[in-house]
Structure 1
């Protein structure tokens, strides 16, 4: 009896990414035997140190605030689940889609966006800091596992999906993966899909965490169309349901509505454009993965609500202010005296400083800080600045 290969792919649409026509890896390697190139990417990401650290990095709430709030790790898994489901319906490459989803936050700082903003301010005179670029830096340079190369040596297509946005000036120094930001054009549909799957996941799960924390309320959310309409359906079908179940039922309906609209609107856009290859997708003047105009407005309404009522809540602001002070103090201390860094990172700081001056030292310090988890950064702050902590 003939059996299909163990890594036989599902049927793909003509415009999907394919291993056979991948633009390859930065360092040539023999092809894998029992898995695809994009499966290899996914496996390397899952086994990376940076991926494990995501378990203790903030989404909105600092890690020690509670055991049930999302972290960067659970967020990445939720993005992957949503993105794979959509990819399957659109005939896209699920393995590439999953690899991009799992890697998209590898460069995120501790303390969420507050950490990124603080580190960007620290790096203002040294090229700035952006977690999207840092994720690419992690997979290209910073992971140190393999004998023959630094980084994870991922395929071009996975790296392209990680680099969601970039200025033309910075992109010019990134080689092939940055060309579309200089010349124009679009990334793969798998990359486009991940951008919106990321939005669906963090918006809706931030609503869940915000309600769980008590920082936002069901009453406040009545002004948000997506939430109001989903809650009306839940109340009609399940009158008298307790608040915990109401919250879950409403959010799952919100996610389902966004996912359904994204599939249907994207199918329509793809049908109209009729791309017959990945290169035809790249030649488009705008993304083909998109919400309908009405749902896009509803999604923007939800994002605006969260920005105003959750991310700017005074208790969240207190957490983010403390986080910023921690990272800024650590950055200043390491820049003033690199000998405070662990030996491996001190050597790197001195090497980069010898190559590019103070900007090199700053980049080495930023790499070290960005790799920290929330609790490690807090502990390191105590070790450097608390007189009671002498070790």
Structure 2
């Protein structure tokens, strides 16, 4: 068995320049978990969207409850791998999973796109515009914006291994003409280059450690299982028609399946991708063997029990037969998480259910427009009038001198309730009171 070993460099804390050894109570990675848990940025995730706005009526997952479940599932997968392969460390995977969305702004991807588009517009003329990306913001929060207990030092002082595992896209933004994919997704801002170089410890490739790979799969599984569950409960995703019980398929369920297949066909061909309708229908039928849904959700106790049972079965299916392909020691940089192809296909199809019945529905488009307008206007207003920034962002602006980055850091830190209230105040729609604590 190749055991996952963590060097002194892995355990070193960012910005403090010390190597955090295990104490009598907590390991270095357990310290990472606790520091993330007690940060204000972690608490703020309770007020940020997973799919729908955090204030939406109904018991939907927020970015916080999503991150909690990613952390739980990531830790369980890591525990299995450790029993089989000697690593990785479950607490390290848990910490990275907790941190992976901590940089997300209000209103989820709608807010992220609004910040990116507005920053691109305001930075017109740069060859590779420094813009906004939720994953890059995560690194910035963990190493610069967040505060721990040590005066004179910025960030949460997490270990190098934790920051490395939480970095999903280990590169800066590329130009659109150079690499379109890396123009759209990246994990570090030029302003945080020094922190990123410290995290990578001399590595110049784009490889991610096995802890990040586990976190990424736990993120996907949690997203499709729990968000599909949310919208089945509220009647938006007709699972009983897509995955009927044996012998219960009828003309209505066939029509609903055809609607979903039509959506997929249009989407895939619109992106220039191949689409095999018969093969996709067969995949849906295969999923139906695990995800049998005899009827719509009606809110009864038995319905809730059945939903929880199906979700548990689906999670078990999606994490079954995972294995590590270990090429070298230590495991963290010498292993690859191998996910069976049929699991990936199931996960991809369930994501498309969310897009078909929730994300791309007309009412979501109008909501998304409003969310993006709030975020874009807040960014523009605080960029044009930096005196509107709160004290911590004002201090940071004096340090780095980038008004647009300071404004983006401020808007990204807001919960959705704060963003709505601040937008009303600054637009003059609802001024509020002099005693309102709007910025702190």
Q: Does 1:16 align with 2:4?
A: yes
Post-superposition CA distance 1:91-140 (Å, at most 9, x none): 02111011111111110111111111111112212511111111111110
1:1-391 residue pairs with structure 2 within 5 A?
A: 14-18=2-6, 22=10, 24-26=12-14, 27-29=16-18, 31=21, 33-34=23-24, 35-91=26-82, 92-124=88-120, 125=123, 126-145=129-148, 146-167=150-171, 173=193, 174-178=196-200, 182-184=204-206, 186-222=207-243, 223=257, 224-225=284-285, 227-232=287-292, 242-260=302-320, 264-267=321-324, 269-270=325-326, 273=327, 275-278=328-331, 282=333, 288-353=336-401, 360-391=402-433
Stretches of structure 2 that go unaligned for 5 or more consecutive residues are 83-87, 124-128, 174-185, 244-256, 258-283, 434-440
Tell me the CA shift for residue 144 of structure 1: 2.3
Answer yes or no: is the 8 Å Cα contact 2:287–2:346 preserved in 1. Answer: no
Post-superposition CA distance 1:180-232 (Å, at most 9, x none): 88424x33222211010010001111101111232212245335456522233
Q: How many residues align?
A: 356
Greater mean alpha carbon deviation, residues 25-34 or residues 156-165: 25-34
Higher relative contact order (CA 8 A, sep 6+): 1
Answer yes or no: is the 8 Å Cα contact 2:104–2:112 preserved in 1. Answer: yes
Taking the aligned partners of 1:67 and 1:193, their CA distance within structure 2 comes to 30
Tell me the CA shift for residue 153 of structure 1: 1.1
Taking the aligned partners of 2:42 and 2:314, their CA distance within structure 1 comes to 28
Taking the aligned partners of 1:191 and 1:283, their CA distance within structure 2 comes to 13
Taking the aligned partners of 2:213 and 2:3, their CA distance within structure 1 comes to 13
Answer yes or no: is the 8 Å Cα contact 2:11–2:21 preserved in 1. Answer: no
Post-superposition CA distance 1:159-184 (Å, at most 9, x none): 01111114355768331435788424
Bigger share in helix = 1
Taking the aligned partners of 1:283 and 1:321, their CA distance within structure 2 comes to 44
Taking the aligned partners of 1:225 and 1:259, their CA distance within structure 2 comes to 20
CA gap 1:31/1:16 in 2 versus in 1, 3 angstroms:
closer
CA gap 1:390/1:277 in 2 versus in 1, 3 angstroms:
closer
Greater mean alpha carbon deviation, residues 145-154 or residues 220-229: 220-229
SS, match of residue 2 in structure 2: coil
Taking the aligned partners of 2:61 and 2:410, their CA distance within structure 1 comes to 23
What TM-score do you get using the length of structure 1 for normalisation? 0.83
Tell me the CA shift for residue 81 of structure 1: 1.1
Greater mean alpha carbon deviation, residues 226-235 or residues 25-34: 226-235
What TM-score do you get using the length of structure 2 for normalisation? 0.74
Taking the aligned partners of 1:15 and 1:165, their CA distance within structure 2 comes to 26
Q: Which residue of 1 aligns with 2:277?
A: none
Taking the aligned partners of 2:304 and 2:286, their CA distance within structure 1 comes to 18
CA gap 1:32/1:323 in 2 versus in 1, 3 angstroms:
same
CA gap 1:227/1:386 in 2 versus in 1, 3 angstroms:
farther
Answer yes or no: is the 8 Å Cα contact 2:239–2:293 preserved in 1. Answer: no
Tell me the CA shift for residue 64 of structure 1: 1.2
